[in-house]
Amino acid sequence: MSYFQFSALAAGVTAAGFAAVVWLAHLARTIRRRRLAAFGLLAVYAALLVFRPVAWPVIDLAVLAGAVGGALLLEGGMTTPASIAVFLTVAGLVDFVSMSGGLSRVLVQHYANGTSNLLLYLTLVMPIRGHAVPIIGVSDLFISGSAATALLRLKLRPAPVIGAMIGGLLSAVACGLIWRTAIPALPFLAVVGWMLVWRSPQRLRAH
């Protein structure tokens, strides 16, 4: 597989994974359903971490389940566009610190050294030359998915929200491909969050 093909695949997996999380989160419309769905989906993801299957479709389905479950639990607590932007900012700072020298950096290094494959079960993966390759983290998916779901619930227009979020995620993917290293995606989403708040109607900022 060429570098261009891998780049296109990584971008496609990222965009499709995010879109799937947002779409599935919208299928649960009541608070009761959301909580039941969230705990059920998180249980599916917990089973993945326990049993660690090798088939990449199983890994991806379970990671998506965990991302949707996390999004369903988080999005209800964000009641204004500003609170969503603050949430993304805090998440971005934590992600930056973790990738700079924290747990995320350790996981990436162990995966690169071949001493642990735990990273595969914390990301969407795709098969490349017979090996599963991590593309985007479950935390990136459920945090971006929860923020997007909350923004849509607050009546922001879907096209700018979805487009901006995907743009932020793809910017992180592009930087990682250019520098050939893992890049924290959530700082990009923090910037996107504030852009969406700035462009949101005044009545939504105030409530």
DSSP structure string for the chain: --HHHHHHHHHHHHHHHHHHHHHHHHH--SHHHHHHHHHHHHHHHHHHHHH--S-HHHHHHHHHHHHHHHHHHHHTT--SHHHHHHHHHHHHHHHHHHHHHSHHHHHHHHHHHTS--GGGGGEEEEEETTEEEEEEEHHHHHHHHHHHHHHHHTT--HHHHHHHHHHHHHHHHHHHHHHTS---SHHHHHHHHHHHHHHS-HHHHH-
Domain count across the chain: 1
In the predicted structure, residue 206 carries a pLDDT above the cut 80: no
Percent of the chain with pLDDT over 70: 95
Residues 167-179: pLDDT tens digits?
Answer: 999 999 999 999 9
Full residue range of the structural domain in which residue 131 is found: 3-206
pLDDT category at 188 given cuts 50, 70, 90 is very high
What is the pTM for the complete model shown?
Answer: 0.92
In the predicted structure, residue 26 carries a pLDDT above the cut 90: no
Residues 32-43: pLDDT tens digits?
Answer: 778 888 999 999
